[in-house]
Structure formats: structure tokens, C-alpha cells
Chain A
Amino acid sequence: MHQAIVFLPLVGFLIAGLFGRLIGARASELVTTGLLMISAFFAWIVFFQTAFGGHDGTVELFTWMASGKLDVTWAIRVDTLTAVMLILVTTVSSLVHLYSMGYMHEDPSRPRFFAYLSLFTFAMLMLVTSDNLVQLFFGWEGVGLASYLLIGFWYDKPSACAAAMKAFIVNRVGDFGFALGIFAVYLMTGSVAFEQVFAAAPSLMDKNILFLGHEWHAPTVICLLLFIGAMGKSAQLGLHTWLPDAMEGPTPVSALIHAATMVTAGVFMVARLSPLFELSDTALNVVLFVGASTAFFAATVGCVQNDIKRVIAYSTCSQLGYMFVALGTGAYSVGVFHLLTHGFFKALLFLAAGSVIHAMHHEQDMRHMGGLWRKIPFTYATMMIGGLALTGFPFTAGYFSKDAIIETAFVSHSPAATYAWVMTVAAAALTAFYTWRQMFMTFHGKTRADHHTFDHAHESPLTMLIPLGVLSLGALFAGMILYPYFVGHDVDHFFRESIFMASDNKILEEMHHIPGWAKWAPTVMMALGFAVAYWMYIANTAVPKALAKQNDVLYRFLLNKWYFDELYDFLFVRPTMWLGRFLWKQGDMRVIDGYGPNGVSARVIDVTNRVVRLQTGYLYHYAFVMLVGVAALITWFMFGGAH
């Protein structure tokens, strides 16, 4: 059954990828979607067996590499952490497959699309089921590849190609750190298998590692390097720039990869490697700091975006920051909890946004929407549920998971704890603001769409609405049901060995004893955000423009995403382009081609022309050449004197 979960998507990929043209688009859709649904069904069985039945286990498939001491196997490791990821990945993926059948129905290359989706799912499953760092890296790169292919799915759009490249290259930066981290782990423990690495972890506590010419505390270096990988994949501040651009891909892709699953791989990885991260307070503080900063930063930018998908993209970035805050405080299960609930309500938001886009004939700018709730009531209702969950409306999924994170930040003893708490609470207000801004701009008020589009706005087909409904259930109830297992008293029993917490890590107990004002702070902030949004976008619609004009600098600062892209463009892209251009024009074309192939052939032609000119046709020239030849030879022997 474990193998089936992981490899059915691969089968689907191969069928749709290799024979897609042969069997046609419809068959490709049905095959991949059907296989994923089977996979999801199995995943739920495995989830109950593992999480509640306690059947942890590893299925070894076969040896991948055996070289000296290095021994890497392909394996499927299933414990509670993996099982949680399995249900999230397979459920969201199968719903996205189903949704895509409706959303993509006009696209001519559907087999390719579904093949990529299944390939992504396979890679993601390899990632979460791996029992060693190398297989994890395989899955890591596999999802990166699928992400690249899907962002650039509409490859005739230059912006999509650019976005795909950007995603790939920025991720390479993170992957480089991740790879270094794996090397460091192998160097220090002599293994890449989780079992051995975790067993050896406590002994690393007092060890140092030589890195960049300095002796460092080994666990700190390892964890920071690994965290760089997580930052790239999970779009944390600094390496986040690819995520908003990734919205160039089709909306189902955004929902599956860039909201629910792939971007959470970094969170999963840190949780999975909790035995290592528990060794280094420094690393955890960095995680906490980066997470809190990202949560706040992305939320501020999200407030001024006008593209419906970009708002959600920044929201994702921000929520990922929240997850890292939880991890940074040592509350890994809380981070994973938010990962799970976020997976449901963010996928829901994206798919609902996709439904809006579908209804509006691929219009994505919210300034050209408004008043849509009558036209597409079901979409409106589901998006409302997603929005409520995201803002943390009481008793929705987000309320349980996000508020829990803010509480961990409050009780944490980390030096960055207060900063993190302030940032996350502020971000909660901003989250409510941009979410309601989005709802109001899209669905309420007078429409700003042109007549034709507005009149033809229509509710999406059933294949798109069913996933919305299913995810709505998750967004509403997942938090309530699962709270005890991820945050409450059953955490130890639920996760067992899959998450390691040091003996002095008591955060989960402490967070239940916080003052009431701190507990209600996020909810108040949420209400505040709602109120401001209502005032600005329903009650008094002239305010946003006036405010933007008044604080022009701030507005442009936010609109330009804190100028990260411009900064990177200046710091990295342009020098790289300059270097590349230099090597191309001067190095390759001028030196290598110039003195190499082109130069040589040009010289050959020169010589040829000269030699041919010697052949004058005059007899006396010919005779002269002969005599000169003889004379030269004679001279050579007389004076060159090689006797």
C-alpha cells in the first residue's frame, strides 16, 4: 500500500506524459486523476493506521548508491509526520487534478499539464516519505523541477518563462545551502540515513566543524545550512522573490504547489530534522527571526497588491513565516499543524480565486472586479470560508493553528521572542485587512468590470466546485478536530518519535498558561483589520486613493515589494548578466571563436587567396618558381649546412 501511494502518481505521469497524445486529453485526465484518488484513499488508510494505530515503519525498496561508507537506499518511511503530509499532499493533489479538468478544459496541451501535476505529486511524496537526506534531496529537486515546468507551462508567454527561470534559479541558491548542509551532516555523522544521523545527533553537541576557515559549532552550521535550503523552497525573506512571480503558472498549480504542498517542504524538513535543530539554539533563533520577519513583510506587501492571485501569494509567504515562527520556538507540531490547516484553506482560496478568474474570463486584476457575489454565489461562499480561516475567525482552522503560533511566540524564551510576537500580531491585523480588502474588492460594491464580462460571469462547472466544497470542510473543521493532537495534550502520543523535542523544551505546556489578553490579541487584531478594510473599501471608497497619495513613499515602497527585486537585480542579476555578456562577447566570440574556429578558417581563406594568386598562368613564372625552389634547396645545404 505504501508503494502504491508513492508510485501511482508516477504511473499516471508516465501514462499521460508518454502516451498523452495517443490516448487523448480526456483519457489522460481521467487516468491521472483516478490514480491520484486511489493514492489519496490509501493515504488516508495509512494515516489512520499510523497516527492512531501506531504502525510506524519503513519499507526499503532497493539500494540507490553504495560507495565506500556511503550507503543510500530508496525507502518509504512512514510515521505520523509523514502520514500527515501524505494526506495533505494526496488529498489536495487529487482535488486539484479534479479541479483542473474543469479549469484547463480549453487548453490544448492538457496531457502535458496532468503529467506534470502527477510528476510533481510523485516527487513530493518521495520527499515526504524519504528516510535519508539524499532521497529527500531527490524529492526536493523533483518538486523544484515540476514547479519550474508548471510555472512555465504556458511557455509562449515570456513572463511565464522568466518566472519559471526565476523560481528555478532562486531555489538553486537555497538548494546549494541545503546540499552543503547534507555534506556537513555526512561529514560529521558518517551517514545520511535519518536513523543513524539522529542517533549520532546528541554527540554533535560539543563538536566543531571547520567551515570557511573557521571553527564553528557543528549543529549550528549544519542547521543553518539546511535552513537556507528551507528558506529557498519555502520562500522566506531574502529568497522569497520567486513565489509571487510563480503566479504566472495556471491557478491550480498555484494552489497545489505554491500554497499547499511544495512551499511547505521547508517546514516539513525542519520538523523532520527536529533532532538536529534541537541541538542549536542559535539556529532556532535565526529560524524564529526570519519567520517573523517574513510573516510581517509579506503581509504588508499583500495589502497593496491588485492581482487577486498575488495577494494570496504574499499571504502564503506570510503564513509560511508563521510556520517558521512556530518551528523557531521549538513547537514543531504547531508548525506542522498550521502547515496542514493552511494547506486546506490556502488551496481553497487559490482554487476559489481560480474560479473567479474562470468566471471573469481570465481577468485577474481586482480593480476590474467587484459585486460578483450574486453572480457566483458558491465561489463566494467558499472563498469566504477560506478567508475566515485565513484571518483566524473563531473556530475555523486558522483560528486554532495561527493563534497557537502567536501564543508560542509569546511564551518562547528566545531572545527574538518578543520581536516575533509583535511581528506576528501585527501581521494578523494585516492579514485580516488584505483578506477582507480582497473579498470586498472582488465580490462587493459596484462592479468595475466591463458590461460584457460582468454579464457573462458564470459559476464554474461541477468539477471545479466539488474541490471547493471539500476543501471548505477542511478549512472549517480541520483545526477543531485536530487541535488536541497537534497542540493539545495528545501531541506526544500522536507524533511519538517522528518529532523530537529536547527535555528542556516545555513550550507546549507553557503556551496553555498565557494571560487572557495575550490569548485574545490576535482575534482583536483580526477584528481591527476587518474594520479598517470595511471602512476603506465599503464605507468610504475614496480613502485608499487619498491614503496612497498622502503616504506616497510608503505606498510605493510596499507596491514595489520593499524593492527586493530591484535590489537583487542590481546586486546579482546585472553583474551576472554583465559577466555572462563579457564572457560571451569577449571570451567566447572574440578569443575562442576569433582565434579558434573563425580565426583559423579566415586565415585559411587568406592563405588560399594568396596561393591561388601565385598561379598566374605565365610559363616564366612557373619556371621561376622551380628555379627558386632548387636555389633555395641548394642554399639550404650550402649554408644551413645539415651535413
Chain B
Amino acid sequence: MTLSLAALGPALPELLLALSALALLMLGAFAGPKSTDTVNGLALAALFGALVLVLIGPAEATLFNGAFQVDAFGRFMKVLALIGAGGTLAMSVDWLKIEKQDRFEYPVLVLLSTLGMMVLISAGDLIALYMGLEMMSLALYVIAANNRDSVRSTEAGLKYFVLGALSSGMLLYGASLIYGFTGSVNFAQIAQAAREPSLGLIFGIVFTFAGLCFKVSAVPFHMWTPDVYEGAPAPVTAFFASAPKVAAMAVFVRFAMEALPNVAHQWQQIIVFVSIASMALGSFAAIGQRNFKRLMAYSSIGHMGFALVGLAAGTQQGVQGVLVYMAVYLVMTLGTFACILSMRRKDGMVESYDELAGLARTSPVKAFMLAVLMFSLAGIPPLAGFLAKYYVFLAAIEAGLYTLAVIGVLTSVVGAFYYLRIVKIMYFDEPAAAFEPMRSEPRVVLAISGTFTLLFFVYPAPLIAAAAAAARALF
């Protein structure tokens, strides 16, 4: 039972992140505020290093008695999470400096949170799942309140914490029920034990799913999202909208597929309900928003609903759809937040998207990129967002979920309205004052994101193939 260091090989990316976080915490604590830049740089390097390690690491492995597993699915999601974390961290450095919110704790907390995501993605039993979830969430609660002098930021952090605690409680309660009715916490063993749906097991599933739904901000467990997105500083919101969503969705899919394949018919009903509710609410509520961050909160609720359509299908094709969807969603979100982060005038940040008026004339390239992203988020062919939706809906239809697919398409029509309204404001309204020039990091992120979104349909094969391979790992 002795663990040799070499046996820990598959967990090397996680170890790197953990050690880096500790080391950078020490560095920051001892070197003081002036070390912030160094800590930022090193944190980025650590994320990049972890990304490389994930890519070159073993394809299949199991550690800690099955609590930690490495497979193609996990690698796919980890890459996405690391890209999300790295991208948002890179974009936030300058922003926080200008807003005088640059503290060395921020990158360290991002690292810790990312570590939690990695553990979460690789979780092979309920305990690892809970541990990863909490590690991720605790760090998130703190950075939501990163701007501790702002009432709104602290309120956001507090709300998130309290509701997060409630959801954790539900998740734990559900986990204990599942353990009680199956006799195991290991996903594979749960799957073997849970052949027949019993009411107790279903209760357990409902509670655990409620906890997971909270993390992906699916309706009706979404209520925190708009307030936290709006209250938290913009880079934090960008981070919230990207990496944690990927990780939570990953564990959601893994848990449903690995632990509960035999009661799929039961949990499918939950997912269908949650998915429809999320798509509908995301589409309808966003219309009433003027704040771009808050709009993105509803947008992400809606998009999680669309991704869950793939999970509701419960097939390999559906999982592939979820993976493609999350990848495209991540890219679009990063690009959009690159724009939000650069909505800065001389007298400070603005957050209402009405301020984008006439952007097409003041900075045409940026406006074009943002327009591409908006069209893509609305799901207009042939952009990436359309293909992502196409895969999940295709899976739903092949699984016989016609109602779900039709409702999904209809809500995406409603949702198109607010995305297109932003395009209309940029292109047809009288120009407002120009923004300050974009910093280089958001500029690079926006360029990559916009180009990817625009040209994805030309050569989608690599991503689709990778997603297919990752989905196969769960079956």
C-alpha cells in the first residue's frame, strides 16, 4: 500500500498546481505586494506547465483506489479548464492593476481553484468529487469578494458562499443516500449496485444532482448567478463563466454516466426538466438586462441548458455533443469577456452594453469580432455556436427527445434577440465615445476566439474527433 512517488505520475499536473500554489503563497506572503507581478507570471507558468503535463501524461490510469482516474474524457475537460483559467488570469492582470485590485492572493486562489477543478474532473468516487468541488468552490467564494472594498463584490462573495454551502449540504446528503442504498462511494461499484431504481436511490440522485446543478448554474439552482456575475469584478466573472463551468459539467457527465448508467431513465427526467428550464429562463430573462455581465450570466444559464440537452440524451453521441458544446462555449465566453474587460473609458469601466453604441465605427475590428461572437452565441450558421448546438440537438433527436429538441430550438430563437440587439447597437446606433485601446492580452484572446468561432466550420475535425474519443472513454 505504499505509494511510491513514481506511482503518482498520472497526478503530476495536479501536484504541480498544488505545489505551485503553496510556493507562490509563501512568495507572496514573504515578499509582499511588490511580488504580485512575479506571482502572476509564475501562476500563469504553472497553469501552462499543468496543461503540458496533461497533454503528455498517460492516457489511462487510476490512483488512490479508484478515487482519481485519468482518461481521455478527463484530459479533454482538463485542457479546457486550464485554458479557461489561464486565459482569464492572463486577461485579468492588467485590469486588476488599473483598478488597484491587484493582490498576490488572486493568482494563488485561481491556482487552488483550478486544482480543485482538476480533482473534480478526475474524481472516481463521491469523496473525491466532494473534495474537488469544495476545493474549487472555496477559492471561488473568496475571489468573488476579491474587491473587498466594494459592497457589491463582498455581497456577491457572501451570497455565493451561503448558497454554495446550502448546495454542498444537498450534495452531501444525496451522496450519503446513494452510499446508503448502494453500499459504495466508488462510481463503478455504485453502477453495479444500482441496477434497479429504488426511491431512496432516486432521492440521493435528486439531491446530488441539485448540488451539481448549482455549480453549472442550471435552473432552478441558478439564482446566485446573475447577482454574483454582476457583483464580482469583471475578470473574476470571466473566470466564473469559463473554467468552473467546464469542470462542473465534466463531473456531472462523469457521475451520471459512470455511476448511474442503469438508472438513466430516471435521472434523464431531471436533466430534461432542468435543461428546458435553463434554456427558457436564460433566453427570456436575458432580454430584460442592460448590464453586459448580468446578461452573460443569463446567457451562460441558457448555454448550460443547451449543453445539458446532450447529457439528457444519455448516449455517447450526447456526451460528445456536451464536450463540443463546452469547448465552443469556453472559447466564445473568453472572447466576449475580453471585450467586456476592455469597455473602459477615461473615467473608468462601463458595464452596460448600450455603451457599445456605434462601436463598428469607432473600432471596427473589435466590433466585427464581437458581432461574430454574438452571432455564434445566438447559434447562427455557420459559426461555431451553431455547430455546437447542432451536435447536442442531433443527439437529442436520435435519442428520441423530440420535445426537448424543439423547445431548445425555439428558446434559441428567443435568445437570438438579445445577442442580435448587441450587434444592432454596435452597427446601427449613433456612436458613443470611443473606448480606450484594448490591452494586448484581451486583444490576443479576442482575436483567437473570434477567428476560431468564425472559421471552426472550415475544419472542425480535430475537435470533433477529440470529443468523440473523450466520450468513448465513458462507455
Q: Which residues of A contact B391 (CB under 8 A)?
A: none
Name which residue of chain B comes closest to A623, CB basis: B166
A625 at interface by CB-CB < 8 Å = yes
In the complex, what distance in Å separates the CA atom of A76 from the CA atom of B113?
87
Interface-centre pick from B206, B219, B221, B227 (highest chain A CB count, 10 A)? B206
- Whether A621 pairs with B223 at a CB distance below 8 angstroms is yes
Contact indicator A638/B199 (Cβ below 8 Å): yes
- Segment with Cβ contacts to B, from A93-101, A369-377, A607-615: A607-615
Stretch at the interface among B94-102, B142-150, B240-248, B265-273: B265-273
* Closest B residue by C-beta to A629: B220
Q: Is the CB of A622 within 8 A of B199?
A: no
A630, B287: Cβ atoms under 8 Å?
no
- A637 near B287: Cβ-Cβ < 8 Å: no
User: In chain B, what residue has the closest Cβ to A634?
Assistant: B206
Q: How far is the CB of A626 from chain B (nearest CB, A)?
A: 5
Residue B353 CB within 8 A of the other chain: no
How many residues on B have C-beta within 8 angstroms of the other chain's C-beta atoms? 35
Closest A-B pairs by Cβ, 6 of them = A629-B220, A622-B223, A612-B288, A611-B285, A608-B287, A608-B288
Tell me the complex Cα distance, A619–B161, Å. Answer: 11
Residue in B203, B269, B287 whose Cβ sees the most chain A Cβ within 10 Å: B287
Partner of A642, one of B162, B203, B269: B269
A216-244 interface bits toward B, Cβ cutoff 8 Å, 1 = contact, 0 = none: 00000000000000000000000000000
- Chain A residues near B417: list those with CB within 8 A: 604
- Given the interface contacts A619-B159, A625-B223, A636-B269, does A630 sit within 8 Å of B285 by beta carbon? no
- Whether A626 pairs with B206 at a CB distance below 8 angstroms is no
Residue from B159, B197, B207, B289 in contact with A622 in the complex, judged by beta carbons closer than 8 Å: B159
| Cα-based distance from A622 to B287 in the complex (angstroms) | 21
Is A629 a contact of B199 with CB atoms below 8 Å? no
Is B202 on the interface with A (CB-CB < 8 A)?
yes
Could you tell me if B197 and A619 are in contact, using CB atoms closer than 8 angstroms? Answer: no
In the bound complex, how far is the Cα of B417 from the Cα of A221, in angstroms?
Answer: 58
A607-B284 CB under 8 A given contacts A615-B226, A642-B269: yes
Cross-chain contact B210 with A630 (CB below 8 angstroms):
yes
Report the bound CA distance from A622 to B221 in whole Å.
Answer: 8
Verify if A628 is at the interface (C-beta below 8 Å from B): yes
Nearest-neighbor residue (CB-CB) of A624 within chain B: B223
Listed by A's residue number, 15 A-B pairs whose Cβ atoms lie within 8 Å are A604-B284, A604-B287, A605-B287, A608-B285, A608-B288, A611-B284, A612-B289, A615-B223, A615-B285, A617-B227, A619-B162, A626-B170, A626-B214, A630-B170, A637-B202
The answer to whether A633 and B270 touch (CB under 8 A), given A608-B288, A612-B288, is yes
**A interface residue numbers (CB < 8 A to B):** 604-605, 607-609, 611-612, 615, 617, 619, 621-623, 625-626, 628-630, 632-634, 636-638, 642-643
Residues of A within 8 A of B300 (CB): none
18 extra A-B contacts, CB within 8 A, seeds A611-B288, A629-B210, A643-B266? A604-B287, A608-B284, A608-B285, A612-B285, A612-B288, A622-B163, A623-B166, A625-B223, A626-B170, A629-B220, A630-B170, A630-B210, A633-B270, A633-B273, A634-B206, A636-B273, A637-B269, A642-B266
**Any A CB within 8 A of the CB of B470:** no
| Distance of A628 from chain B, by nearest CB (Å) | 7
Q: Which residues of A contact B130 (CB under 8 A)?
A: none
Residues on the A chain within 8 Å of B199, using CB:
637-638
Q: How far, in angstroms, from A500 to B5 measured CA to CA in the complex?
A: 114
B186 CB–A CB distance under 8 Å: no
Residues of B within 8 A of A (CB): 159, 162-163, 166-167, 170, 197, 199, 202-203, 206-207, 209-210, 214, 219-221, 223-224, 226-227, 265-266, 269-270, 273, 281, 284-285, 287-289, 414, 417
- A643 surroundings in chain B (CB, below 8 A): 197, 266
Which residues of chain B have C-beta atoms less than 8 A from A609's C-beta? 288
Cα A622 to Cα B288 with chains together (Å) = 19
Instruction: Give the residues in chain B near A636, CB-CB below 8 Å.
Output: 269, 273
Q: For residue A611, which residue of chain B has the nearest CB?
A: B285
Contact B269 A626 (CB under 8 A): no
Measured between beta carbons, the chain B residues less than 8 angstroms from A625 are: 220, 223
Shortest CB distance A376–B (Å):
59
Of all chain A residues, which has the CB nearest B197? A643
CB distance from A390 to the nearest CB of B (A): 63
B199 CB to nearest chain A CB (Å)? 7
CA distance A152 to B31 in the complex (A): 87
What's the least CB distance linking A308 to chain B, in Å? 54
Residues of A within 8 A of B214 (CB): 626
Provided the pairs A628-B220, A630-B207 are in contact, do residues A637 and B266 lie with their beta carbons within 8 angstroms? yes
Asked whether, in the complex, the Cβ of B266 is within 8 Å of the Cβ of A630, the reply is no
Residues of A within 8 A of B219 (CB): 629
Give the CA-CA distance A608 to B273 in the complex, in Å: 19
Residues of chain B within 8 A of A607, CB atoms compared: 284
Cα distance A636–B224 in the bound complex, in angstroms = 24
The interface residues of chain B lying within 8 Å CB-to-CB of A633 are: 206, 209-210, 270, 273
Contact indicator B285/A604 (Cβ below 8 Å): no
* Assembly CA distance A609 to B289 (angstroms): 10
Q: Taking CB as reference atom, which chain A residue is nearest B163?
A: A622
> In the complex, A643→B224 CA distance in Å?
32
User: Is the Cβ of B287 less than 8 Å from the Cβ of A626?
Assistant: no
Residues of A within 8 Å of B221, CB to CB, are 626, 629
Chain B residues positioned under 8 Å from A629 (CB to CB)? 210, 219-221
- Residue from A607, A636, A638 whose CB has the most chain B CB atoms within 10 Å: A607
Give the complex CA separation of A607 and B415 in angstroms. Answer: 13
Residues on B with beta carbons closer than 8 Å to the beta carbon of A638: 199
Q: Is the CB of B287 within 8 A of A619?
A: no
Between A605, A609, A629, the greatest number of chain B beta carbons within 10 A of the residue's beta carbon is seen for: A629
**What's the Cα separation between A604 and B417 when bound, in Å?**
10
Contacts of B273 in A (CB 8 A): 633, 636
Query: Nearest Cβ in chain A — how far from B230, in angstroms?
Result: 10
Q: Which residues of A contact B163 (CB under 8 A)?
A: 619, 622-623, 626
Q: Is the CB of B266 within 8 A of A622?
A: no
Distance of A612 Cα from B282 Cα, bound (Å): 11
CA distance A623 to B165 in the complex (A): 11
A637 CB contacts on chain B under 8 angstroms: 199, 202-203, 206, 266, 269
Considering the complex, give the chain A residue whose CB is closest to the CB of B224: A622
CB distance from A631 to the nearest CB of B (A): 10
Task: Report which of B203, B224, B226, B266 forms a contact with A634, defined as CB distance below 8 A.
Answer: B203
Complex CA–CA separation, A617 to B219 (angstroms): 16
Chain A: minimal CB distance from B298 (Å): 9
Residues of B near A617 (CB, < 8 A) are 227
In angstroms, how far is the closest chain A Cβ from the Cβ of B3?
39
Contacts of B227 in A (CB 8 A): 615, 617
Q: How far is the CB of A617 from chain B (nearest CB, A)?
A: 6
Cβ of A643 to closest chain B Cβ, rounded Å: 6
Residues of A within 8 A of B210 (CB): 626, 629-630, 633
Among residues of B, the one whose C-beta sits closest to the C-beta of A609 is B288
User: How far apart are B400's CB and chain A's nearest CB, in angstroms?
Assistant: 15
Interface centre among B210, B220, B269 (most CB of A within 10 A): B220
A641 to B: closest C-beta gap in Å = 10
Give the docked Cα–Cα distance between A621 and B199 (Å): 28
| Chain A residues, CB < 8 A from B220 | 625-626, 628-629, 632
With CB as the reference atom, state the residue of chain B lying closest to A642.
B269
Q: Which residue of A lies closest to B418 (CB)?
A: A608
A536 to chain B, nearest CB (A): 69
**Interchain CA distance A604-B270 in the complex, whole Å:** 25
With A612-B288, A622-B159, A630-B170 as contacts: A604 and B414 at CB distance below 8 Å: yes
